[in-house]
Structure 1
Amino acid sequence: MRPKDGHRDERGRERTGAAEAIADGVRGVGPSEIPARLCDVAVELLPVTGASVSLHSDGMPVQLGASSAQAAYVTEIQATLGDGPCQSAAQSGVPVLACDLTAGRDVLRWPVFAQQATAAGVRAVYSMPLGSDTVCVGTLDLYCDTPGDLNGRDLRTARLVAAMMTVALMALPRAEETGDPGGERWLSGLATDHDQVYQAAGMIMAQLGVGTDEALARLRAHAFAGGSTALDVARDVVEHRVRFDRD
């Protein structure tokens, strides 16, 4: 029993150390800063070069924070494509480790995303689902500039950060608590830019006479064809610089 007890003690120390680092990282910050600050903590605790956090609802991930411009950009690539490790993690509810986006099965699984991610300097992505065993509300996405796997200790730490991220997001002010008349978005003030995505989707629905899923698919396709992000195209639609006409 001693080896098992020693192993349990070691894991307990790992968890305590990571929890203390997370607590220190968010101490004294406002609610809207917590997602980005937790991304910074993840980069400090893990052998990764970037991190981002997104909510997944209504067919389009909503990015809440990132540790760097590169992490934010690669997260937007996944949102634009509607494909990538974060989408797979959100759908499956289990961690998805894309350990080598330069060759092998990860390239075969996400060929377009792999090409665009590596062009942006990202060679591996580790996506941790946020939520419970039955409901996934988003993902913590970890990015690395070299191929490689997470060892057991790092994976446990990544899971812990994701668990803390879930708790933090659930504790953020909800729309009904802040008097937001919209009511449908329970995180207030964090996803302002992405409101334009849904506004643009509504305009595309009216222009083409299609449903929400088709409107978002058209928005993504237009963004991909033009080398833009879905958010950039949404702004153009809302500001009437781009219009979708029926074929």
Structure 2
Amino acid sequence: MTMDLLSAFLVGLLGSGHCLSMCGGITTMLTSAIKPNKVSVGDINVTLQTIEEPTPIYSSSSRVNLVFLYNLGRIISYSTIGAIVGFTGSIAAKNIGLPIAGLRIFAAIFMILLGLYIGQWLMWLTHIEKLGTIIWKRISPLSRKILPVNSPAKALGLGALWGWLPCGLVYSCLTWAMASGDLYSGASIMLFFGLGTLPALLTLSLSLEKVKALITMPTFRQTSSILLITYGIYSFFVAYQLMF
């Protein structure tokens, strides 16, 4: 289990460049606490809806607090979804007889696809992201009650809503949560994944330009992609040996 948590953290960390490209627009919007507009999430246009109220103005320290609350809410959502899919994997293993090793093979394949996706060599995961918009369209109208962000509770709530944005990186890690075959393990895997994504999104939110430049370098993206593909292939053979 410890290895799974470390792996989840590293997946979040190695996917940093993808985090910036996918969530850059919405992160900037949340940090600025501006009134809603349409932002781009990959190839998906996302609209956060709100009522017409004046935009609150925050001090630098208040904005830092909001950034952490946004991300706390996001990671809570990841952990919740992880618990759901982990429990689902447990039910599948116990009631259907689906072997956990089989789920791990499935997760390993997703990891390979994720590496190819981040490297921009094979974009199949974009189809999975678009499926996620079905859920997002039902959840996003809740932002009407949260924006403008004028309290810590709203910042936390908006972050929790953000955690449900369609994202191939998240979905790939969820397959590992499902393969854990346990509610607690699934939540823990997604918790550590969320922590792994923190450096990239905090870098963008807090305007750490030098770190952002490093993360967005093509060399960083390609190296991360190769490492993810390598780990996916390794995991596939480990799971295959356990299954057969």
The structure with the largest helix share of the pair is 2
The structure with the largest strand share of the pair is 1
Same fold by TM-score greater than 0.5: no
Larger Rg, first or second structure (1 or 2): 1
Which of 1 and 2 has higher RCO (CA within 8 Å, sep 6+)?
2
